[in-house]
Structure 1
Amino acid sequence: MKALLLVDESQDKIAIREIEKPSPKKGEVLVQVKAAALNHRDQWCRIGMYPNIQYDTVLGSDGAGVVAEIGVGVDGSWLNKEVIINPNIHWGDDEAAQSAAYHILGMPTNGTFAEYVVVHADRLSEKPAHLNFSEAAALPLGGLTAFRATFTKGHVSKGNKVLVSGIGGGVAQFAFQFALVVGAEVCVTSGSPEKLDQMIDRGATGGFNYKEEAWSKNALKTTGGFDVIIDSAGGSSMNDYLRLIKSGGRLVHYGSTTGAPKNLDMFRLFWSQASIHGSTMGSDKEFGEMVKFVSENNIKPILSSVRDFDQIIAAFDEMHAGNQMGKLVVTF
């Protein structure tokens, strides 16, 4: 079968190879992958900026497909079902945080950038009926991360003023959509005026270009501040967020793409009674809640492009350039 492997000998560090089709063991299923979506973690693996790198691993955390085979002990009703895959492996019993054994499908465990993938049967959820395979493939990792950040950590509810940063990313777009559905007033940031315009058209109350020096002053003047800020950048923007957060507000961070802040305005932090919450991925319970929420509210992922699997390296390059607006999906 065709698969995309992380390799050490290629300049690209990734290559499409023919490998042996896997077989499900006890408690496992073989999923014929119909579509898979890229995440930034895939690119971080490619450039060596991810822990426990193992070459000759099939990358990919997001996938949707059809159950082609089942192993011993698996409920026969799964056979031939259209499914999405929960990329969590060994979250554990603690809803507050993942276990020490936790990892994500696609590194070091073989992932979804292949014609077939073996996963444990308890990683399956039925594909939401309103989504096609390409849309469904874009949901698991980004949707789960956004669900935990928005609701478990951010406690976003009707009437809240919410700021979502870096709206070009898939998690940010899910957080935006989720917050809108529950009746929040949502603003966004981006370095691209075109992306801001697109999100205004999709229901954003306001959009702010973080490349403009006075963006946070303009945002404060326009909105009066935010109850919740959902961010993946960190870095120097932290003090902007502390100026924008309302008293008792919540800053939720699910990434740190621009690193640590050089100086953190601790006075603003304690005086505002604000709280900072770290968040990553989500529990299996939250995954089920997220899928139900998406189905009940007819939410569709924003897709930037859908292309044949043979063009996946070009999709990686597009993601690295950062010009996409929505998820990058490949199909088999």
Structure 2
Amino acid sequence: MSLNNVPQSCKAFQLERGAQKGERNQAILRSIEIPKEKEGMVLVQMTAAGFNRRDEWAMQGLYPGLTFGDSTIGCDGVGKVVRGKMEKDSRLPTHPNDLVILVPTRGWQKDPLGPEPALEKTKNGLGGNGFGLLGSTKPTNGVGTFIEYCQIEKDMVVNVPAHLNSLQAACLPCGGVTAFRALFTKAKIEKGQSILITGIGGGVAILALQFAVARGANVFVTGGTQEKVNRAIELGAKGGVLYREKDWPKRLAKMVKDEMVERPYLDAVIDSAGGEVPAQAAIAGLKNGGKIVCYGMTASPKMTITMREVLRNVDVMGSTMGSAEEFKEMIHFIDQNKIVPVIDTVLDGLQEAKSGFALLQDADKRSGGKVVIKIAQDTKERQSRM
């Protein structure tokens, strides 16, 4: 697209504060001006965007660092560069349809331990500072992906793996880097090891399953419904149990022993729930010196760990999102292993985006996978539907 074809305004799905204190925040589709061309930035015409649980938390006012007004929702996004020139990553070939994926985090370049302290007060290209995500937050100055045109730093877009279309790629940013870091940076999962992934069905958990299977690990899961467990087995899990059953730790421990005769134990637990779940998982076959990596708190913001785990030398680790470098490594891993994310629901256009929040609220009623928005159609997606 030439510069002359870039419009002056576009549609954006934005966050507004609730009418009264304590009320749910509002999501409004409005027309906004497209930023003028700026050195070091590229303009991306968005083709798809993905929902995450944190988008629903923003509506409830529970997500930290929210900003309102000119504040666009969404941290997962894919599109085409239509103005400016991106910095290409030599690890990835150019997508046949020129698709790029937006790096969702800011304020964290490559330190494996966490966001670099030196970047806490450094202003980023979006005008914010500190560690944070795209999508209605102060660290990214309200920039988000639920928009027709997004201006972003030229080094914060990466080529989409050639085997994916827009909708599939839009499943990856937030959930993908979270799963990748939890598995490989923190738990250091290798081929032949056995792990438990709790709460299968969520976007991060499913991606973690796909990544671990691609690495050659043996994966067991817990799920809220048998349908979700069965779906995980179809994706490569060895087996799973329902977490609503009180004896699930014992049942899972027996399953691991029966399935993994030579290594009848778990090397690590990748958890999204918090609360009692990590302690329960620790007695579900986790070996002495095993790892519990917790990246979420869907059950409770507090985690129950006892001296039993301490005396067994169990490592308990927190993991949140990931660095820009981990994000690029994750995309490279997906390209190498030809992983295709699982889509649950496709919403047709930003005008349908509001219905995504209800789908996030009723996650137990869905079989699992991501909710994505088709903002504009790309050639590869069109061909895959013929």
Query: Normalising to structure 2: TM-score of the pair?
Result: 0.81
Q: Map 1:1-332 onto structure 2 (within 5 A).
A: 1-9=10-18, 13-56=26-69, 57-70=71-84, 81-92=98-109, 94-99=111-116, 100=120, 101-108=130-137, 109-224=142-257, 225-244=265-284, 245-261=286-302, 263-266=304-307, 268-309=308-349, 310-322=351-363, 323-324=365-366, 325-332=368-375
**Equivalent residues of 2:46, 2:149 under 8 A apart:** yes
**Equivalent residues of 2:103, 2:173 under 8 A apart:** yes
Gaps spanning 5+ residues in structure 2: where?
Answer: 1-9, 121-129, 258-264, 376-386
Question: In structure 2, how many angstroms separate the alpha carbons of the residues matched to 1:118 and 1:306?
Answer: 24
**Equivalent residues of 1:236, 1:260 under 8 A apart:** no
Amino acid at match of 1:172: A
Amino acid at match of 1:294: I
Q: Relative to structure 1, is the Cα distance of residues 75 and 264 closer, same or farther in structure 2, using a 3 angstrom cutoff?
A: closer
Question: In structure 1, how many angstroms separate the alpha carbons of the residues matched to 2:302 and 2:331?
Answer: 34
Task: Show structure 1 runs of 4+ deviating over 4 A.
Answer: 9-12, 74-78, 260-263
Question: In structure 1, how many angstroms separate the alpha carbons of the residues matched to 2:87 and 2:113?
Answer: 30
**Equivalent residues of 2:274, 2:303 under 8 A apart:** no
Residues 41-76 of structure 1 deviation map (CA, whole Å, 9 limit, x = unaligned): 1111111001122112101100010001117xx669
Aligned length: 328
Amino acid at match of 1:120: E
Query: Normalising to structure 1: TM-score of the pair?
Result: 0.94
**Equivalent residues of 1:165, 1:231 under 8 A apart:** yes
Give 3-state SS (helix, strand or coil) of 1:6's partner. Answer: strand
**Equivalent residues of 1:59, 1:112 under 8 A apart:** yes
**Equivalent residues of 2:110, 2:326 under 8 A apart:** no
Residues 16-57 of structure 1 deviation map (CA, whole Å, 9 limit, x = unaligned): 112222234110111000000001111111110011221121
**Equivalent residues of 1:85, 1:124 under 8 A apart:** yes
CA RMSD after TM alignment: 2.0
Structure 1 range deviating more: 315-324 or 177-186: 315-324
**Equivalent residues of 1:28, 1:121 under 8 A apart:** yes
Amino acid at match of 2:83: E
Amino acid at match of 1:277: M
Gaps spanning 5+ residues in structure 1: where?
Answer: none
Q: Relative to structure 1, is the Cα distance of residues 24 and 326 closer, same or farther in structure 2, using a 3 angstrom cutoff?
A: farther
Question: In structure 1, how many angstroms separate the alpha carbons of the residues matched to 2:180 and 2:88?
Answer: 31
Structure 1 range deviating more: 105-114 or 256-265: 256-265
Question: In structure 2, how many angstroms separate the alpha carbons of the residues matched to 1:264 and 1:276?
Answer: 9
**Equivalent residues of 1:13, 1:47 under 8 A apart:** no
Deviation at residue 261 of structure 1 after TM alignment: 4.7
**Equivalent residues of 2:199, 2:221 under 8 A apart:** yes
Deviation at residue 107 of structure 1 after TM alignment: 2.6
| Correspondence for 2:260 | none
| Correspondence for 2:126 | none
